[in-house]
Structure 1
Amino acid sequence: MAILPIIEIPDPRLRLVSEPVAGVDDDVRQLIDDMFETMYDAPGIGLAAIQVAVPKRVLVIDLQEQEDEEGKPVKAPRAFVNPEILETSDEYSVYQEGCLSIPEQYADVERPARCRVAWIDRDGERHDEWLDGLMATCLQHEMDHLNGVLFIDHLSRLKRDMVIKKLNKARKAA
């Protein structure tokens, strides 16, 4: 496994629409493994392939919501190949989102509280499942990446400009 470089705004590749994966093979599984390694190292809870400069419809999520006896997070990795949102709830929820491609910047984003998603896992198995809570939010966030959309695109122009200004200020200070 390898830790891959994460591209950050304003890299134009983050605006690309990712291509579907023809099939899950060893190369796709290696990409998934490398993406998990990269995400855990960052650290983050989700990562889309385009964030590591691979314009394929692949994303990984691990909310690590459970803890072991020692209080350490338990890994619960999930890979989504060619995910599709089939249906969303009428109810919305708000989560404070951040992004590995927009480091150290956070904002409240409103999204459907539940979504029905179809995808292929790393073993080539098809799934169709309703997701809710943080998993639904994270999946929608990562799927936005596959379509060239960033979480700041869901903000008002004023809030988006403030986030970008804070990021640029932090970069200059570093």
Structure 2
Amino acid sequence: MIYPIIAYGNPILKREAAEINEGEDINELISDMFDTMDNANGVGLAAPQINKGIRLFVIDSSLMLDEDSEEKGFRKVFINPIILDEYGDDYGFEEGCLSIPDVRAEITRPETLTIEYFDENWNLKEEEFSGMTARVIQHEYDHLEGILFVDYIKGLKKRLVKSKLIDVSKGKIPTDYSMIYPTR
């Protein structure tokens, strides 16, 4: 099943997501999330973006990498993740979001992170990720904390995107995927 994506302005995107009970059967939801992400040509999708207020996201960071990249991308599931540490040099990269189409901004994040999470089989993992994969994880993890990438934009840049954000919330930005808008 392909879910519609929740657009900027919906309160669920600003709420902290709830933990999932360990062992709960969410395999169908995970499959649907990958289908939804792929349908929208995304590299990550968090459960709040499909109107599910739970601590779950999926990524496919291989789509962010150049052919020449030494980094290996991953298609992964993260259940009840906790970022344990972020470190390394901060670097900027232009980010976007399926919930905020047609808005992009350079966001600065640390290059490496250590994260604890359950995989799709409820195996507890602790892993380190760097580069683009770390960035995709950080972006999707923020969704679980009720943080959007536009929350990092400050000053004049924030004022410049404000009208676009209003247009997104009103459904005035066309997309190739189905969306649910808070005001229309």
Q: TM-score, normalised by structure 1?
A: 0.87
Contact kept in structure 1, 2:8 and 2:165, CA below 8 Å = no
Superposed CA offset, 1:74-125 (max 9, x none): x942000011111111421111100001012111000111000110000111
Look up the equivalent residue of 1:43 and give its one-letter code: N
Q: Report the Cα distance in structure 2 between the residues aligned to 1:56 and 1:102, rounded to whole angstroms.
A: 20
**SS of residue paired to 2:61:** coil
2:82 is aligned with 1:87:
no
User: Which of the numbers 104, 107, 110 marks the counterpart of 2:105?
Assistant: 107
Classify 1:173/1:35 alpha carbon distance in 2 versus 1 (closer, same or farther; 3 Å). Answer: closer
Q: Equivalents in 2 of 1:85, 1:12: separation in Å?
A: 24
1:150 to 148, 151, 157: 148
In the alignment, the residues of structure 2 paired with residue 169 and residue 56 of structure 1 have an alpha-carbon distance, to the nearest angstrom, of: 27
Q: Secondary structure at the match of 1:14?
A: helix
Cα distance, 1:169–1:87 mapped onto 2, change above 3 Å: closer
Counterpart of 2:28 in structure 1 is: 30
* Residues 25-104 of structure 1 mapped to structure 2, 5 A cutoff: 25-26=24-25, 28-65=26-63, 76-104=74-102
Output the CA distance in 2 between the equivalents of 1:84 and 1:99.
21
Contact 1:92 1:111 in 2 (8 A): yes
Q: 2:5 maps to which residue?
A: 6
Identity value in percent: 36
In structure 2, what is the equivalent of residue 159 of structure 1? 157
- The secondary structure found in structure 1 opposite 2:38 is helix
Where does structure 1 lack aligned partners over 5 or more consecutive residues? 69-74
> For 1:52 and 1:86, how far apart are their aligned partners in 2?
26
2:15 counterpart residue number: 16
Give TM-score, length-normalised by structure 2: 0.83
SS in structure 2 at match of 1:4: coil
The residue number in structure 2 matching 1:71 is none
User: Which stretches of structure 1, 4 residues or longer, exceed 3 Å deviation after superposition?
Assistant: 65-68, 167-174
Q: Could you tell me how far 1:16 is from its partner in structure 2? A: 1.0
Point out which structure has higher relative CO (alpha carbons under 8 A, 6+ apart).
Answer: 2
Number of residue pairs the alignment of both structures matches: 166
How far apart, CA to CA, are the structure 2 residues paired with 1:136 and 1:144? 12
- In the aligned structure 2, how far is the partner of 1:173 from the partner of 1:67? 28
Q: Deviations over 1:9-56 (max 9, x none)?
A: 111111111001112433x11111111000000110001000000000
1:124 paired residue among 122, 125, 131: 122
Provide the rounded CA distance (Å) in 2 between the counterparts of 1:160 and 1:166: 10
User: How far does residue 169 in structure 1 lie from its aligned partner after superposition?
Assistant: 5.0
> Which residue identity lines up with residue 156 of structure 1 in the other structure?
K
